[in-house]
Amino acid sequence: MKKRKFIIIGSGITGVVIARNLAEAGFKVDIYEKRNHIAGNMYDYEKDGILIHKYGPHIFHTSDEEVNEYMNKFWKLNKFQNIVEGYVNNKLVPIPCNFKSIDILFPDKAEQIKNNLKTFFPNQPNVPILELKKIDNELLKEFSDFIYKNLFLNYTTKMWNLKPDEIDESVTARIPIILSYKNTYFNDKYEGLPIDGYTKTFEKILNHENINVYINTDAINILKMEDDKIFIDDKENEVVIYTGPLDKLFKNKFDQLDYRSLHFEFETINQTKFQETAVVNYPDDPIITRITEYKNMTLQNVENKTVIGKETPGTYDEKSSKWNEPYYPLATDEARNKYNKYKDFAKKYTNLYVCGRMGLYKYINMDQAIKNALDLSKEILENENKK
Ligand X SMILES: Cc1cc2nc3c(=O)[nH]c(=O)nc-3n(C[C@H](O)[C@H](O)[C@H](O)COP(=O)(O)OP(=O)(O)OC[C@H]3O[C@@H](n4cnc5c(N)ncnc54)[C@H](O)[C@@H]3O)c2cc1C
Residues that bind ligand X (CB under 6 A): 9-15, 32-35, 40-42, 56-60, 218-220, 243-244, 248, 262, 327, 356-358, 364-367, 369
In a 13 Å sphere around the CA of 57, the CA atoms on its Cβ side amount to 28
| Closest CB 324 distance from ligand X, rounded Å | 12
DSSP state of 257: P
| Closest CB 65 distance from ligand X, rounded Å | 16
Name the pairing type of β-strands 279-281 and 44-47. Answer: unpaired
| Closest CB 114 distance from ligand X, rounded Å | 30
| Closest CB 372 distance from ligand X, rounded Å | 8
Helices (H), the chain: 13-24, 65-72, 99-105, 110-120, 129-133, 138-147, 154-160, 169-173, 198-206, 246-249, 295-298, 333-346, 356-359, 366-386
Q: Using CA of residue 291, residue 293, residue 296, residue 299, what is the dihedral sign?
A: positive
CB-nearer residue toward ligand X: 14 or 281? 14
CB-nearer residue toward ligand X: 14 or 201? 14
CB-nearer residue toward ligand X: 14 or 351? 14
**Cα separations in angstroms, 384 against 26, 239, 242, 379:** 12, 10, 18, 9
**Cα separations in angstroms, 86 against 83, 93, 162, 276, 282:** 10, 5, 21, 11, 6
On whether the CB atoms of residues 177 and 147 are closer than 8 A, the answer is yes
Task: Give Cβ neighbours of residue 147 (< 8 Å, ≥ 6 apart).
Answer: 97, 129, 177
CB-nearer residue toward ligand X: 42 or 117? 42
CB-nearer residue toward ligand X: 9 or 129? 9
DSSP state letters, 78-142: ------EEEEETTEEEEES--HHHHHHH-TTTHHHHHHHHHHHSTT-SEEEHHHHHTS--HHHHH
| Closest CB 382 distance from ligand X, rounded Å | 22
In a 13 Å sphere around the CA of 119, the CA atoms on its Cβ side amount to 11
| Closest CB 135 distance from ligand X, rounded Å | 33
CB-nearer residue toward ligand X: 180 or 368? 368
| Closest CB 258 distance from ligand X, rounded Å | 15
CB-nearer residue toward ligand X: 75 or 143? 75
| Closest CB 34 distance from ligand X, rounded Å | 4
Q: Across-strand partners of 126? A: 178
| Closest CB 300 distance from ligand X, rounded Å | 18
CB-nearer residue toward ligand X: 30 or 143? 30
CB-nearer residue toward ligand X: 37 or 133? 37
Q: Rounded distance, CA 69 to CA 160, Å?
A: 35
Instruction: Give the 3-state secondary structure of residue 61.
Output: strand
Q: Is the peptide bond before 96 cis (omega within 30 degrees of 0)?
A: yes
| Closest CB 9 distance from ligand X, rounded Å | 5
CB-nearer residue toward ligand X: 181 or 363? 363
